[in-house]
Structure 1
């Protein structure tokens, strides 16, 4: 098994494993980040941060069931300064990605500017896909003109590798529009997908919703969304420049799921709902399962099958 290579690279950033956490999953506090740094994940990413601390939405705001999860967290985080200065006091060798999610163009620019002053941040993931902020604005990932204008301003000064976390897309027009925009800028990677917005889950015994914010509506994640995640990964693999890596996210519970994401074109994967369910030990389990699955397929590296999804004729 030691001969199976599951390492990868994103914008010349070397990851010992293609498996990492998803932003929002047990990556907000000092203890959670330290646990991730000690884990076998290939890299870590923080909770999407704003300029100042946010408490987020009222609880209960997260619920799991067998096939998935629903959440309306509302971007609870400790503020960007906590994440920036957390890194100054520890030694680590693992790639560190900072997720940011400003509530306005001005805040996003400020967050990127602050981040550029810290050399120990390897890359930025701009969260353009948060569905649970409780504002009247639609998800940024569906506002194509605003994305284009924001990226133009960011790349006037940004010096770090930048990736974009995208919401799920469902039609070719949207895939083409966002791809045309991203291909114009020096984007290093995209992460797809975030949770599917505006779902609802019912507690049949109580005959009620299960989360409090937004009248029970929230983002759906977990095993149930894997087909949508895979379709987005594969679409973007065909539409984006080949130097833009794709991080697959959505529905990963096993090594087989990771294999499918990579087969669709992913360079790496992020794990959210299942990480929350299992805790830090999940990275060892998924790593072992992926290595076994690849070995059984008679491959020696993830590069042997990346993007090689066959289509029925």
Structure 2
């Protein structure tokens, strides 16, 4: 069964190069089922809203004119991509918060994947002014594919980050979902699925405060636990031992390192959609990982996730 047949493609304004569109077309070409692409562009110009000399109708007419121009530009973009015989819609909206417009379209259009090109973010700026990518990782209910420049070769590698340190039912279910999504992408791309898990290093302060504490034994015990739970997970999903990686360190360091060693074309991980102060101070693994990757990232929400931007039911 094809999982991705209704793709929402975020178009980067004023750019002829559109990696997300190229990736969406690739998925459509490889899929056994018909795939619909919706090209999405959110535009906004404050100067149109600030002009007091124009009436409401005149402002609306000017906005409509700009939207029509951008729709024509989207049409010209398609001419530079091999979209022949594909079902493609174009959707341009006037909205000053692109991520809100994208999530609204996902909810209204029932899209099963959102694709968006990404780039390196300034780390300090990312904390103060949260980029659109981070908002999407936190609030978009469907899988988000953040596209970089790495190719998707045939018989490539997909790296899936799993959490085997917890027996929490939510984490167990999310691991299963991540592997199912990985297998679906692997089938589409004829790729090989690898699993990666990071386990924490021994806290330095423990060895100072407890002189009798044996850090080597502690580290061996932690590693042994992670290896055992990874074995249980891989056997559950019939994955070979040589395709699993258990490494010491922080996930945001280990995942990019293993991805680079494998020359992976895609990293898949789960994101809980943490928002508010906890997101600012704790952050999400996906957000810390994305800037260090040189390949695409597919972020998956757990089952039952409800976007904070979804309309509230009575």
TM-score by length of 2: 0.30
Please tell me whether Structure 1 or Structure 2 has the larger radius of gyration of its CA atoms: 2
> How does the TM-score come out when normalised to structure 1?
0.30
